[in-house]
Amino acid sequence: MELQDVLRQRFGYESFRPGQQEVIEHIVAGRDAIAIFPTGMGKSLCYQLPAYLIEGAVIVISPLVALMEDQVANLRKHKEKRVVAINSFLSKQEKDLALSTLNRFKFIFLSPEMLMQPNVQQLIRQLHIAFFVVDEAHCISEWGFDFRPDYLRLKEIFQGENRVPILALTATANEKVVSDITSYLHMNDPYIERQPIDRPAISYRVLHVDNEREKAEWIIGRLSTTIGPGIIYVASRKRADELAALIREHGIRVASYHGGKEQDERSIIQEQFIQGELDWICATNAFGMGIHKDDIRQIIHEHLPATPSAYIQEVGRAGRDGNKAVATLLYCDRDTQIVKFIVYEDLPDEQQIRYYHSLIQTDVAVELAAQQCGLTEVASRLLAYYFGQFNEHQVIRQIRRIYEVKEKQIAEMESYVKSDSCLRQQLMHHFGEQPAVTSTDCCSHCGNLSEDWLIRKNSEEETKKVLQWRDRLQQLLG
């Protein structure tokens, strides 16, 4: 069957978006590929379509439960029933059943941590696999070295001369990230399709304030006078809850979202936002991947993002419908130190590394060693991985390198908020690109900003309230 036929019959599209067909053709031909497409430009089709042209199962390695569930729902919407995501959503019985019947599925979604479990690997090896997919592949470079070391272990799965193709998907990747992806996935001369990440419909603002109180006041004023829907990114779970409660006092439909909430509660909040029952979400960076909401008009950062890549990923969730959107970053002088504290909190210092090593050399269990050293869960996983690969001197050097990389990334973000040059151009330069030509609504440094379209119309709001009350009365009297 021709690509165009599958596209039309399976997915209901008449034509490919830029870059999709080229990636699909290389995967079908058996070649590794890296697809770098901006958010909302159809990365998923690059693995979903060729799955119907190649015999065997497609293993999709995905970083977040929400992202897996979204992809599963999308496939089922296209009448694909042979799909499973093995994650924390499943009970033990459901998980055991899924693993015992893996050969029945066409699409199998797993986290890196799940894939690296020996029993799962054994079952995967028994399958006829069409190809592997690593979704949000920038996580290899951004999370693998410190936060989720199992990303670096993926190369153990992909070794061997006769392995099936690998497709890596991401919305952002500079040359270093592409190099990390290629290296840590053992990719063989991958075809690289890079689409421009600039989104001309999004305008950028940086606003300097004196303290946290001014940030909160600005946000409440902004939400009270301008339209949503939107996402407010904050630095901590506690702050997400506090700010959402403060905003809610002003009659604004808002909820907080973070990893500290139960899975079911997060799913409900996410669905309410998608369906328009909530206008705003106060979130940590746990929110966003896998959120298919095209009409997000505003992204507000109450904190300084740790990396340019994280920032461009998060603001890229706005304006996917092609209409105007605004990204606003609030900054005060304390922010740089706060983000450094958060970023470095999970990294062990040299004294902890040496003490940890001395303990495990005396056959102390790694869990107990981590506890005695006062390591966080992340630092514990990190050292367990690195000491399985390197000696003490090499581990210390590796951790120092992580500190240096993070220091450089934070410095880049600090330069972004303090510079007087074009905000769009700075972001694009980080990824080796030039921005699209924009005469108006570029950024707060270029001027020519128009926000009339953002202003909330009172008459529309009143109409909405009347309709809501009519709906409630119908429910009560119905």
Q: Once rounded to an integer, what is the mean pLDDT over residues 214-240?
A: 95
Q: Once rounded to an integer, what is the mean pLDDT over residues 28-36?
A: 95
Copy the structure tokens of residue 2.
């021709």
Higher pLDDT, 233 or 77: 233
Q: Once rounded to an integer, what is the mean pLDDT over residues 129-140?
A: 90
Strand order across the 254-257 sheet: 202-208, 325-331, 298-301, 230-233, 280-283, 254-257
3-class secondary structure, 65: helix
Q: Could you tell me the CA-to-CA distances from 477 to 465, 469, 474 in Å, in that order?
A: 18, 12, 5
Homologous superfamily (CATH) for 3-194? P-loop containing nucleotide triphosphate hydrolases (3.40.50.300)
Residues of the chain with pLDDT > 70, as a percent, come to: 93
Whether the Cβ atoms of residue 379 and residue 348 lie closer than 8 Å to each other: yes
- pLDDT, residue 473, reads 43
Q: Across-strand partners of 257?
A: 283
- Rounded Cα–Cα distance for residues 208 and 417 (Å): 8
Question: Does pLDDT of 337 surpass 90?
Answer: yes
The architecture that CATH gives domain 202-338+439-469 is 3-Layer(aba) Sandwich (3.40)
Whether the Cβ atoms of residue 136 and residue 170 lie closer than 8 Å to each other: yes
Angle, CA of 377, 382 and 385, to the nearest 5°: 125
Residue 201: Cβ-neighbour burial (10 angstroms; 0-12, 13-18, 19+): middle
Question: Does pLDDT of 357 surpass 60?
Answer: yes
- pLDDT, residue 229, reads 96
What does the pLDDT look like over 42-70, one tens digit per residue?
A: 899 999 999 999 999 999 998 877 788 88
Q: Once rounded to an integer, what is the mean pLDDT over residues 92-117?
A: 91
- Rounded Cα–Cα distance for residues 185 and 191 (Å): 14
- pLDDT, residue 157, reads 85
Q: Once rounded to an integer, what is the mean pLDDT over residues 31-50?
A: 90
Question: Does pLDDT of 84 surpass 90?
Answer: yes
Q: Once rounded to an integer, what is the mean pLDDT over residues 87-93?
A: 82
DSSP 34: E
Is 202-338+439-469 the same fold as 3-194?
yes
Domain boundaries, the chain: 3-194, 202-338+439-469, 346-397
Copy the structure tokens of residue 130.
């069409």
Residue with the two structure tokens 């009350």: 469
Using pLDDT thresholds of 50, 70 and 90, give the confidence band for residue 467: very low
Cα–chain-centroid distance for residue 66?
10
Residue 67, number of CB atoms within 10 A of its CB: 20
3-class secondary structure, 135: coil
- pLDDT, residue 147, reads 57
- pLDDT, residue 323, reads 93
- pLDDT, residue 476, reads 46
DSSP sequence for 330-390: EE-TTHHHHHHHHHHTTS--HHHHHHHHHHHHTT--HHHHHHHHT--HHHHHHHHHHTTTS
In 70-113, at which residue ranges do the beta strands (DSSP E only) sit?
83-85, 107-110
